[in-house]
Structures are given as structure tokens and as C-alpha cells.
Structure 1
Amino acid sequence: MTVQIKRKIISVVITMILLAIPLVAMQFTTEVNWKLSDFIVAGILVLGTLLMTDYILQKTKRKNIRIGLIGLMILIFITVFIELAVGILGTPFAGN
């Protein structure tokens, strides 16, 4: 198995572990109420971010550029996730 395939498998496993957190929380409280679509969107966001981070690490050699691009990816991820969760920007994207 190549390193690239192992990285992709690790990304999928990390995504599944992160999605298991709200799934388990839903069993113990009614405050966490995710639908199937919520899991799909969160999975796409997390897996997409991890795969893009892996792509950036493979294609860029300079440390400063890597740090900047990965920081930008994390900022975009956090902004989209928060917008979908609570609608801080008030866009129709969040369902407001």
C-alpha cells in the first residue's frame, strides 16, 4: 500500500471518528439533533478539508507557503462550519 493511499484512508477514518461524536451525543441528549443531511454536509466539509490539506502538503515544498495555505484552509473550514451551525453571517446558505 502506498503512502498516498494510507493518507487517504487515515483521512476517512478521522472523518468517521469526528462524525461519531455528534452521533453518540444524540443518544444521550436531545440538544444534539442532526439529520442525515447534516452528517453528509459535515462529512464532505471535514473530508474535503483533510484531502485538500494532504494535496497542499504533497504539492508545495516551501514551508511558509504550506503554513499559509493550510491556515487558509482551516479558516475557510471554520467559517463555513460556523455559518452552517449558527448562521453568524446571516446568509441564506445557513437557512436563515
Structure 2
Amino acid sequence: MATATNSLISCNSVFAWIAAIACALLLIPLIAMQLKDSVNWSTADFAVMGALIFVAGSSFVLIARKVNPSRRLAVGALVLALFLYVWAELAVGVFTSLGS
């Protein structure tokens, strides 16, 4: 299992997979917009969220290539925490007025 993970992270095609996953995740609000009037995303919202997902995934891969494999879980937790922080700031401005 560890060798499969190492080979996936070291392969450059992982960035295409990250882009595909980002697009697949963006289908959720797109479909929700078709079903509910309360979901109202603009093109900029899709672009920002797609970039945020792609940057978070790419950051994890690039950092995971540099660190010891035993530290990848900690790197993943850190990247996830930063992703959630930026998402919350852009959505509602928890600590600043970015989302307001």
C-alpha cells in the first residue's frame, strides 16, 4: 500500500487527477443550483472554489513529496485546516471582513 501511494504522489499525472476531482466536486453546487433557488453561485464562485480545491490538493502533493512518508498524515491535516480556514474566511469572514 505504501508503494502505491508513493508512486501516485511522485507521478506528475496526479495533478490531472486533482483537477478532475475539483471539477467533480464543483458539480455538487451546480446540480444544487438546478434543484433549489437558495443555491446561487456565480461564475467567480466556481472559479475561486475550483482554484482553492486545486491549490490545496497540489500543495499536499508537493509537500508530501518532500517530507518523510510517516509525516504525510500531519501534512494532510495541516493542508485541510488551511483549506477550511480560507473557505470560511471567503464565505463569511470569521476573523476578517473578507466574506462580508
What's the TM-score once normalised by structure 1's chain length? 0.84
Indicate the percent of aligned positions where both proteins have the same amino acid.
32
Deviations 1:16-73 (A, max 9, x none): 001111011100111111011111110111000000111122111241x322222111
1:21 aligns with 2:16: no
Task: Summarize the alignment of residues 1-96 of structure 1 with structure 2, pairs less than 5 Å apart.
Answer: 4-63=11-70, 65-89=71-95, 91-94=96-99, 96=100
| Cα distance, 1:11 vs structure 2 | 0.4
SS at 1:43 equivalent: helix
Residues 68, 8 of structure 1: alpha-carbon distance in 2 compared, 3 angstrom cutoff? same
Q: Is the 8 A contact 2:29 2:39 kept in 1?
A: yes
Count of aligned pairs between the two proteins:
92
Q: Superposition RMSD on alpha carbons, in Å?
A: 1.7
SS at 1:33 equivalent: coil
Q: What is the rounded CA distance, in whole Å, between the counterparts of 1:47 and 1:62 in structure 2?
A: 22
SS at 1:49 equivalent: helix
Unaligned runs of 5+ in 2: 1-7
